[in-house]
Homo-oligomer: A and B are copies of this chain.
Amino acid sequence: MKTYIGIDLGGTNVRVAKVTSDGEVLNQVKGPSYAMESAEVIMNNIIDLIKQIPAYEECYGIGIGVPGPVDTQRGVMVLSSNIPALKEYPIPAKLTREFNMPVYMDNDANVAGLAEALVGAGKGKGIVYYTTLSTGIGGALIINGKVLSGKHGHAGEIGNMIIDRNREKVSHLNAGCIECEASGPAITRKGNALLNASINHAGEVFELADNGNEMAEKIVDDACADLAVMYSLIAHVVDPDCFILGGGLMKSKDSFLPKVVEQFKTIVHEKMRDIDFIEAELEEPGIIGAAMLPISFGK
């Protein structure tokens, strides 16, 4: 079976693994990402990690997931707030020269979505829309095993979608965007504002709602209505076979997902009511999805 190198580059750590074409992680190494160092330091560290993988030379390609939008035509991150030196740095070109194999790069949400589409919850489905509900809200469109990254690598930047323009502006994102209204920090913010409690994370608000706290219930109901609008907006653009949902908020899925799906069905065309909402199933979608990038380009 063909194997590929997957690299999951984050703001703190970088992980490198050899992964089979059906998504099995064979070997994995990990180190700090040296995010505040020069591009040379960061890249040499990644190269050293790859060389620690047994028989890395036999892999058919390298994929790398990075924490920022990627111009996949030019092979650069167009923004890189967590790893400043890598903004506009030609990472795939550098790795191709070093290892003489095809290298592809995309952002972390897109590679996670690709992993779920190819070997996870969306396996065998044609049009997969992956969303991550977490500190941020992001998305990825995977069509027949290939990610749509967009002109500027901004396809799937759904956190900035306006779901109700009549809200207050709370960040640099649009007023009334879904990330400002239904992400983990948004629910925590609303909890602290509306409840007589010091809320540390969204899970506490979901728990209070489950226990009958009316204000917490209202916060959760509002977030469900907002998420239903977001999913309906996406559905009218791409009409996917399924939505796959990942991210930390899914720990509380029983508290919100049924309501989201129920409301979604009321604001889409009748035929679309059967679009599945499926929980993400991979434990390491980042590194597996990175390794799937070369596969998605036929390597």
Contact = CB atoms under 8 A, between A and B. Distances in A.
Interface of A: 69, 78-79, 126-127, 139, 141, 143, 148-158, 160-166, 174, 229, 232-241, 267-269, 271-272, 275
B143 A78 contact: no
A163 B240 CA distance: 20
Given A165-B164, A165-B229, A232-B162, A275 B151 contact: yes
Main secondary structure of the interface of A (DSSP, over half): loop
Nearest to A271: B152
A268 B160 contact: yes
A165 B225 CA distance: 11
B151 A241 contact: yes
Contacts of A233: 161-162, 233, 237
Copies in the complex: 2
A163 to B, nearest CB: 8
A161 B232 CA distance: 7
A162 B233 CA distance: 7
B143 A127 contact: no
Nearest to A242: B151
B148 A238 contact: yes
Contacts of A143: 143, 148
A241 B268 CA distance: 27
A237 B236 CA distance: 11
Contacts of A148: 127, 143, 238
30 contacts: A79-B271, A127-B148, A127-B150, A127-B151, A127-B155, A139-B237, A141-B238, A150-B239, A150-B240, A151-B240, A151-B275, A152-B239, A152-B269, A152-B271, A153-B239, A154-B239, A155-B236, A156-B236, A157-B236, A157-B269, A158-B236, A160-B268, A162-B232, A162-B233, A164-B165, A164-B166, A233-B233, A234-B237, A237-B237, A237-B238
